[in-house]
Structure 1
Amino acid sequence: MDRRIALKNTALLVGVTLGGGTLASLMQSCQNQKRMDWQPQFFNEEQAAQISEITEMILPRTETPGAKDLKVDMFVDLMFAKTLSPEDKEHVMKGFERFVEICQERFGHPFTELDAEQRKEVLQQVGEETNTFNPSIWGSPLGVQEPLDFYRRVKQFTLIGYFTSEEIGKNHLRYDPIPGEFKGCIPYKGENSWTL
């Protein structure tokens, strides 16, 4: 299975509690901001540089734009700043500190100074150490969801930001701004998924 298709399906399963309009406005505010003028709202500049590289590792540029091309890293920072409770923010920062420790323990350098293979190893270890989403039935999670760790949140917000961006929605997914009649049962012929 293609990696982007797998990520897209994961993003759709993740779901969010924010409305589509809120996500669109947050993403649009990032798209309009010039990278040179960007002042992170949640992370400091050094931390934000590491977040940028993590998002690009999750969704690198291929035949489609990468995460940094679409300023998804700016969206991730904004999501951390605007959507998390104080307790979740504290939990995330503890996870970020552990992420920094792993980089230092394994390679003696911050994430931004590691090569692609070293970055992959760090993210794999962080991914193994972090919690995951509870399984769900019909969109309702089973059991009580523990607060999500730093890396799981970054992945979640990266996928949301990427697939709700105008570039991906209009140019890489199917997009119909004025839909016609509803057809509930039509054959699937392998077309792209509909944009959110």
Structure 2
Amino acid sequence: MNRREALARVAWIMGGAVVGANLFLEGCTRTATKNVESLFDPETVDFLGDVADTILPPTSSPGAKEAGVGAFIPVMVRDCYTKKEQDTFINGLNKIEEAANEKFSKKFQELNKTERTELLNSIDKEAKEYQKSKDEKDPNHYFNLFKQLTLLGFFTSELGATKALRYVQVPGKYDGDYPYKKGDKAWAT
């Protein structure tokens, strides 16, 4: 191989690296829809927190709202969901409000704890039926998306990981035969 051939090959390889990097970076740009951007105002974040708190209410450990799940959900929907999933989720929020209005003639946030639980249980039953009968290419039910985000947001939050789960800040040596008693909390790390 002579110098001219070597330079031509290096130029060809470098050109591919530049074009490939540019294509990669183009794929990293944010393409959130305007609808998603404008949807999650402070009132909606509060609504998300109330629904999440009904799914994971405070007990001996804090609830989902206290763990900041209402603020976590918009970030995940905006940054991680496809356009189709975003639309499903956003339409689902409206369906929760419509169901509350149909069943109790009130907004969801005006319902008491028992009414909220009853409403979400009926939506959950509907979601389970939908999941059984849906095609593989159909989107997941909006309430399943909501429950997944609630659990993810809660158990990855500081409060969820330290108060609801067992947490050791600095793990010690590996112990494969650690005693477990029925009713013990699961490990956070």
TM-score norm. by structure 1 comes to: 0.64
Total equivalences in the alignment = 150
> 1:75 is matched with which residue?
72
Note closer, same or farther for the CA distance 1:130–1:71 as it changes in structure 2 (3 Å cut). same
Structure 1 residue 195 and structure 2 residue 182: aligned? no
> 1:128 is matched with which residue?
125
Task: Name the stretch that deviates more: 183-192 or 156-165.
Answer: 183-192
> How far did residue 66 of structure 1 move?
1.5
Task: Give, as a single letter, the amino acid of the residue that structure 1 aligns with 2:149.
Answer: F
Structure 1 residue 119 and structure 2 residue 111: aligned? no
Structure 1 residue 153 and structure 2 residue 145: aligned? yes
1:103/1:109 contact within 8 Å kept: yes
> How far did residue 133 of structure 1 move?
10
RMSD: 2.8
Structure 1 residue 43 and structure 2 residue 40: aligned? yes
2:130/2:141 contact within 8 Å kept: no
1:56/1:67 contact within 8 Å kept: yes
Residues in 2 aligned to 1:151 and 1:110: alpha-carbon distance in whole angstroms: 17
Structure having the larger proportion of residues in helix: 2
> How far did residue 172 of structure 1 move?
4.1
Task: Name the stretch that deviates more: 110-119 or 43-52.
Answer: 43-52
Gaps of 5+ in 2: 1-36
Task: Give, as a single letter, the amino acid of the residue that structure 1 aligns with 2:144.
Answer: R
Structure 1 residue 94 and structure 2 residue 91: aligned? yes
State the SS of the aligned residue for 2:117.
helix
State the SS of the aligned residue for 2:176.
coil
**Which of 162, 167, 170 matches 1:170?**
162
Task: Give, as a single letter, the amino acid of the residue that structure 2 aligns with 1:112.
Answer: Q
Residues in 1 aligned to 2:100 and 2:163: alpha-carbon distance in whole angstroms: 36
> 2:10 is matched with which residue?
none
Note closer, same or farther for the CA distance 1:134–1:145 as it changes in structure 2 (3 Å cut). farther
Which structure exhibits the higher relative contact order, with contacts defined as CA atoms closer than 8 Å and separated by 6 or more residues? 1
1:48/1:77 contact within 8 Å kept: yes
Q: Deviations over 1:132-179 (max 9, x none)?
A: 8979xxxxxxx9474222222221111111111222323442223433
Task: Name the stretch that deviates more: 168-177 or 80-89.
Answer: 168-177
Residues in 2 aligned to 1:175 and 1:80: alpha-carbon distance in whole angstroms: 28
Note closer, same or farther for the CA distance 1:174–1:117 as it changes in structure 2 (3 Å cut). closer
State, as a whole percentage, how many aligned pairs show the same letter. Answer: 29
Gaps of 5+ in 1: 1-39, 136-142
Q: Which has the larger radius of gyration?
A: 2
> How far did residue 104 of structure 1 move?
1.6
Q: Deviations over 1:70-125 (max 9, x none)?
A: 21111122222221001111112222222222112112221011122221222122
TM-score norm. by structure 2 comes to: 0.66
